[in-house]
Chain A
Amino acid sequence: MAVAANIETLIVDDQRSTLQLVRSSLLQLGFKRIRECEDGEAARLLLETVRVDLIFSDLNMPRLDGLGLLRAVRNNPAISKTAFIMLTGRTDTALVQEAVKLGVNNYIVKPFNLATLTKKIEAVVGPLT
């Protein structure tokens, strides 16, 4: 069983509204250690100095997009095993397939509800307590 409160989480999205929605959902699920970045490059730099267990990342972002961030994570031996869930739109099928090739752990299609978010997280980290 994964203890939500102990999971170091990072949300990466250039839409502040989405950051807030994901954060509030994670808080409802018991997550407490939540960081946010507004693009992939900021996240990549943060990950050089901070330990993160689970990343939620948007696909479409300026500077470094979700695929670029995923690639950077998987290519860095120090953090390559970090769980990575992609936040996508319905029209991003080809990009999701690319993310699968790069080793994404799961993906969530926006807009999503709390039940879907829970299901996707538990598929990656195991049942939450």
Chain B
Amino acid sequence: MTSAAARTHRAPQRAHPRVFLVQGEYWVSDQAGLVVSTTLGSCVASCLYDPQARVGGINHFLLPHGEAFEGPDAVRYGAHAMELLINGMLHAGARKDRMVAKLFGGARLSAHLPDVGGSNAAFAEHFLRHEGIAYLGGSTRGVAARRIEFWPESGRVRQREIPNFDGEVLRAERRPRPPAPQAGSIEFFED
């Protein structure tokens, strides 16, 4: 499964319901008190919020990279990940022209490897500009991993840097890469 998995159902009814988001997922909610948290290394999390509808959404994506993912395919994958989040927001009652955004993540975790995090952050910034979604800021690039918490109903975000992260972040980002963009497994037409 390459595309972000939708996790938009209601969180368990606890005093302070909490959801942990992993790479490739997104979450949209208007549930008061709900917190969505995620840990970011070179991945980026886009936090979108419609202040009038009080609906928020967050994704956690890593552009595919490597030989099989030259520029255009990576951009297609990223644009699709963002589109899923935006569509989820629209279905929950948000309007695109009211959405504002904050971005987090995109760290360069190793000076000896390509700056994948920088590419992720640049893509997300460009996407927001291109779609006309106001970018309120956030915290991107740098060399430290981050743990963020997002309250979808208020749009609030809290970040904590993880300066001396152990293998947790790298393990999360070394999950199997998404396969190359391709048509789905269902076919309604003969090719």
**A interface with B by C-beta (< 8 Å):** 14-18, 20-21, 24-25, 60, 62, 89-91, 93, 96-97, 100, 105-114, 116, 119-120, 123
Bound-state CA distance A100–B187 (Å) is 11
Pairwise interchain contact A114-B189, C-beta atoms closer than 8 A: no
Bound-state CA distance A24–B72 (Å) is 10
Residue B96 lies at the interface, judged by CB distance under 8 Å to chain A: yes
Binary interface encoding of chain B residues 118-152 relative to chain A, with 1 for a CB under 8 A from any of its CBs, else 0: 00000000010011100000000000000000000
In the bound complex, residues from chain B placing their C-beta under 8 Å from that of A111 are: 2-3, 73, 76-77, 79-80, 181
Pairwise interchain contact A17-B191, C-beta atoms closer than 8 A: no
Residue B110 lies at the interface, judged by CB distance under 8 Å to chain A: no
Q: In the complex where A15-B86, A60-B87, A89-B84 touch, is A97 in contact with B183 (Cβ < 8 A)?
A: no
- Give the interface centre of B127, B183, B189 by most chain A CB atoms within 10 Å: B183
Pairwise interchain contact B76-A112, C-beta atoms closer than 8 A: yes
In the bound complex, residues from chain A placing their C-beta under 8 Å from that of B80 are: 89, 110-111
Pairwise interchain contact A119-B188, C-beta atoms closer than 8 A: no
Bound-state CA distance A100–B188 (Å) is 8
Pairwise interchain contact A116-B190, C-beta atoms closer than 8 A: no
Give the residue name and chain of the B residue nearest to A92 (CB): B184
Contact check: which of B73, B82, B127 meets A113 at CB < 8 Å? B73
In the complex, the 8 A-B pairs of residues with the closest C-beta atoms, listed nearest first: A111-B181, A109-B184, A111-B76, A111-B80, A17-B79, A110-B80, A111-B77, A109-B183
Given A21-B79, A116-B183, output 13 extra A-B contacts at Cβ < 8 Å. Answer: A15-B79, A15-B86, A16-B130, A17-B130, A18-B79, A18-B83, A21-B76, A62-B96, A89-B80, A90-B184, A97-B188, A100-B188, A110-B76
Interface size class of B (residues with CB under 8 A): 20 to 34
Residue B170 lies at the interface, judged by CB distance under 8 Å to chain A: no
Bound-state CA distance A16–B73 (Å) is 17
Contact check: which of B72, B75, B183 meets A108 at CB < 8 Å? B183
Q: In the complex where A16-B132, A93-B186 touch, is A112 in contact with B84 (Cβ < 8 A)?
A: no
In the bound complex, residues from chain A placing their C-beta under 8 Å from that of B77 are: 111
Binary interface encoding of chain B residues 144-186 relative to chain A, with 1 for a CB under 8 A from any of its CBs, else 0: 0000000000000000000000000000000000001111101
Q: In the complex where A89-B3, A90-B3 touch, is A123 in contact with B189 (Cβ < 8 A)?
A: yes
Nearest-CB distance from B137 to chain A (Å)? 21
Q: In the complex where A62-B90, A106-B189, A123-B190 touch, is A15 in contact with B131 (Cβ < 8 A)?
A: yes
In the bound complex, residues from chain A placing their C-beta under 8 Å from that of B86 are: 15
Pairwise interchain contact B191-A96, C-beta atoms closer than 8 A: no
